[in-house]
Structure 1
Amino acid sequence: MSTGSDVSGDLTVTIGQYSSAGRKAANQDFNGILVPVQPALGLKGIAVALADGISSSAVGAAASETAVKSFLSDYYATPDTWSVKTSAQRVIAAANSWLYAQTRRGADPNDADRGYVTTFDALVLKSRMAHLFHVGDARIWRVSGWSLEQLTEDHRVVVSAAESYLGRALGANARVEIDYHVVGIEAGDTFVLTTDGVHEHVRPRDVVAAIAQAATLDAAARAIVEAALAAGSQDNLTIQIVRVESVPAGAPADLLGEAEGLDPAPLLDPPAELDGFRLVRILHSGPRSRVYLAVEAETGAQAALKVLSLDLRDDPAQRKRFVMEEWIARRIDNPHVLKAHPRAGRRSHLYTVMRYVEGQNLTQWMRDHATPDLETVRGLVEQLARGVQAFHRREMVHQDLRPDNVLIDTAGTVQIIDFGATTVAGVVEGDPRIDPAEILGTVQYTAPECFLGAPANAGSDIFAVGVITYQMLTGRLPYGDAVPRARTRAAQRRLRYTSALTVRPLLPVWVDGALRKAVHPDPLRRYTALSAFVHDLRHPNPAFTDGRRASLLERDPLLFWRLLSLVLGLVALTLAAILIAGPRR
Structure 2
Amino acid sequence: MALSVRPALRVTLGQHSLAGHKAVNQDFHGAMLPEGAQRMSKGIAVALADGIGSSRVSQVASAAAVRSFLDDYYATSDAWSVRRSAQRVLEATNAWLHAQTQRSDARFDKDSGYVCTFSALIVKGRDVHLLHVGDARIYRLHPHALEQLTEDHRVHLSSVESYLGRALGAGPHVEIDYRAWEAEVGEVYLLATDGAYAHLDAATVQGVMAACGDDFDEAARQLARAAQTRGSDDDITVQLLRIDELPSADTARLPFQREGLAVPAPLAPRARFEGFTLVRELHVSSRSHVHLAVDDASGQQVVLKLPSIDLRDDPDYLDRFVLEEWVARRIDSVHVLKASRIERPRNHLYVAMEYVEGQTLAQWMVDHPRPSLDSVRAIVEQLARGLQALHSREMLHQDLRPENVMIDRSGTVKIIDLATVYVAGLADSAGERQAHAIEGTLQYTAPEYFAGQGGSARSDLFSLAVVAYQMLTGQLPYGLQVARVHTPADVNRLRDVPLRHFRPDLPAWAEAVLQKALHPQPARRQEAVSEFAHDLRTPGPQFLRPRPPALIERRPVLFWQCTTVLLAAAVVVLLGLRAWGH
Contact kept? 1:38, 1:254, Cα under 8 Å: no
Aligned to 1:547: 546
Once residues 561 and 389 of structure 2 are traced to their aligned partners in structure 1, the CA distance between those partners, rounded to angstroms, is 46
Aligned to 2:42: 44
Q: How far 1:563 moved relative to its partner?
A: 5.0
Q: 1:521 to 1:554 in 2, by over 3 A?
A: farther
Q: How far 1:24 moved relative to its partner?
A: 2.1
Deviations, residues 517-573 of structure 1 (Å, cap 9, x unaligned): 11111122122211221111122332233324531469999x997553235679999
Aligned-partner residue type, residue 14 of structure 2: G
Contact kept? 1:60, 1:117, Cα under 8 Å: yes
Aligned to 1:348: 347
Q: 2:212 aligns with which of 211, 214, 234?
A: 214
Aligned to 1:182: 180
Q: 1:252 to 1:95 in 2, by over 3 A?
A: farther
Aligned to 2:13: 15
Aligned to 1:275: 274
Q: How far 1:7 moved relative to its partner?
A: 8.3
Aligned-partner residue type, residue 459 of structure 1: R
Aligned to 1:228: 227
Could you say what secondary structure the match of 1:303 adopts?
Answer: strand
Which moved further from structure 2: 470-479 or 21-30?
A: 21-30
Aligned to 1:465: 464
Once residues 255 and 177 of structure 2 are traced to their aligned partners in structure 1, the CA distance between those partners, rounded to angstroms, is 32
Aligned to 2:124: 126
Aligned to 2:100: 102
Aligned to 1:497: 496
Contact kept? 2:384, 2:529, Cα under 8 Å: yes
Q: How far 1:101 moved relative to its partner?
A: 0.3
Aligned-partner residue type, residue 174 of structure 1: P
Aligned-partner residue type, residue 372 of structure 1: P
Could you say what secondary structure the match of 1:30 adopts?
Answer: strand
Deviations, residues 330-386 of structure 1 (Å, cap 9, x unaligned): 001011100000111111100000000111110000001111111111111000000
Contact kept? 1:141, 1:152, Cα under 8 Å: yes
Could you say what secondary structure the match of 1:251 adopts?
Answer: helix
The answer to whether residue 408 in structure 2 is matched with residue 446 in structure 1 is no
Q: 1:400 to 1:548 in 2, by over 3 A?
A: closer
Once residues 166 and 437 of structure 2 are traced to their aligned partners in structure 1, the CA distance between those partners, rounded to angstroms, is 40
Deviations, residues 456-499 of structure 1 (Å, cap 9, x unaligned): 22111011000000001101000111110122333332221101
Q: Percent identity?
A: 52
Q: 1:183 to 1:567 in 2, by over 3 A?
A: closer
Count, aligned residues: 567
Q: How far 1:208 moved relative to its partner?
A: 2.2
Aligned-partner residue type, residue 59 of structure 2: A
Q: 1:257 to 1:548 in 2, by over 3 A?
A: closer
Structure 2 alignment gaps of length 5 or more: 572-582
Deviations, residues 375-418 of structure 1 (Å, cap 9, x unaligned): 11111100000000111111111101000011111000011111
Q: How far 1:313 moved relative to its partner?
A: 2.1
Aligned to 1:399: 398
Aligned to 1:582: none
Q: 1:276 to 1:458 in 2, by over 3 A?
A: same
Q: 1:554 to 1:16 in 2, by over 3 A?
A: farther
Q: How far 1:432 moved relative to its partner?
A: 4.4
Q: 1:56 aligns with which of 54, 63, 78?
A: 54
Deviations, residues 1-27 of structure 1 (Å, cap 9, x unaligned): xxxxx9877111001000111332111
State the TM-score, normalizing by the size of structure 1: 0.93
Could you say what secondary structure the match of 1:353 adopts?
Answer: strand
Could you say what secondary structure the match of 2:83 adopts?
Answer: helix
Contact kept? 1:193, 1:240, Cα under 8 Å: yes
Q: How far 1:261 moved relative to its partner?
A: 4.0
Contact kept? 2:252, 2:430, Cα under 8 Å: no
Deviations, residues 400-443 of structure 1 (Å, cap 9, x unaligned): 10000111110000111111111101111202489942211100
Contact kept? 1:275, 1:348, Cα under 8 Å: yes
Contact kept? 1:306, 1:351, Cα under 8 Å: yes
Which moved further from structure 2: 66-75 or 138-147?
A: 138-147
The aligned runs of 1:271-420 (5 Å cut-off) are 271-420=270-419
Aligned to 1:156: 154
Aligned-partner residue type, residue 127 of structure 1: G
Aligned to 2:200: 202
Q: 1:88 aligns with which of 59, 80, 86?
A: 86
Deviations, residues 264-293 of structure 1 (Å, cap 9, x unaligned): 122101011111101000111122111111
Aligned-partner residue type, residue 455 of structure 1: G
Could you say what secondary structure the match of 2:440 adopts?
Answer: coil
Contact kept? 1:29, 1:50, Cα under 8 Å: yes
Aligned to 2:112: 114
Contact kept? 1:502, 1:556, Cα under 8 Å: no
Q: 1:231 to 1:268 in 2, by over 3 A?
A: same
Q: How far 1:259 moved relative to its partner?
A: 3.7
Contact kept? 1:459, 1:528, Cα under 8 Å: yes
Could you say what secondary structure the match of 2:242 adopts?
Answer: strand
Once residues 255 and 245 of structure 2 are traced to their aligned partners in structure 1, the CA distance between those partners, rounded to angstroms, is 21
Q: 1:30 aligns with which of 28, 36, 50?
A: 28
Which moved further from structure 2: 234-243 or 532-541?
A: 532-541
Could you say what secondary structure the match of 1:283 adopts?
Answer: strand
Contact kept? 1:10, 1:247, Cα under 8 Å: yes
Aligned to 1:242: 241
Q: 1:22 to 1:294 in 2, by over 3 A?
A: same
Contact kept? 1:251, 1:433, Cα under 8 Å: no
Once residues 385 and 436 of structure 1 are traced to their aligned partners in structure 2, the CA distance between those partners, rounded to angstroms, is 20
Aligned-partner residue type, residue 356 of structure 1: Y
State the TM-score, normalizing by the size of structure 2: 0.93
Aligned-partner residue type, residue 214 of structure 1: C
Aligned to 1:520: 519
Q: How far 1:260 moved relative to its partner?
A: 4.9
Contact kept? 1:221, 1:240, Cα under 8 Å: yes
Q: 1:260 to 1:427 in 2, by over 3 A?
A: farther
Aligned to 2:423: 424
Aligned-partner residue type, residue 17 of structure 2: S
Once residues 570 and 203 of structure 2 are traced to their aligned partners in structure 1, the CA distance between those partners, rounded to angstroms, is 85
Which moved further from structure 2: 504-513 or 519-528?
A: 519-528
Alignment root-mean-square deviation, CA: 2.3
Q: How far 1:118 moved relative to its partner?
A: 0.5
Once residues 244 and 553 of structure 2 are traced to their aligned partners in structure 1, the CA distance between those partners, rounded to angstroms, is 62
Aligned-partner residue type, residue 289 of structure 2: R
Contact kept? 2:494, 2:520, Cα under 8 Å: yes
Which moved further from structure 2: 493-502 or 247-256?
A: 247-256
Deviations, residues 110-162 of structure 1 (Å, cap 9, x unaligned): 31211110100011111221111111110000001222100001111111122
Q: 1:232 to 1:117 in 2, by over 3 A?
A: same
Q: 1:218 to 1:565 in 2, by over 3 A?
A: same
The aligned runs of 1:161-172 (5 Å cut-off) are 161-172=159-170
Q: 1:206 to 1:353 in 2, by over 3 A?
A: same
Once residues 429 and 285 of structure 1 are traced to their aligned partners in structure 2, the CA distance between those partners, rounded to angstroms, is 33
Could you say what secondary structure the match of 1:241 adopts?
Answer: strand
Q: 1:424 to 1:570 in 2, by over 3 A?
A: closer
Aligned to 1:67: 65
Contact kept? 1:256, 1:327, Cα under 8 Å: no
Q: 1:146 to 1:166 in 2, by over 3 A?
A: same
Once residues 254 and 566 of structure 1 are traced to their aligned partners in structure 2, the CA distance between those partners, rounded to angstroms, is 57
Aligned to 1:476: 475
Contact kept? 2:551, 2:559, Cα under 8 Å: no
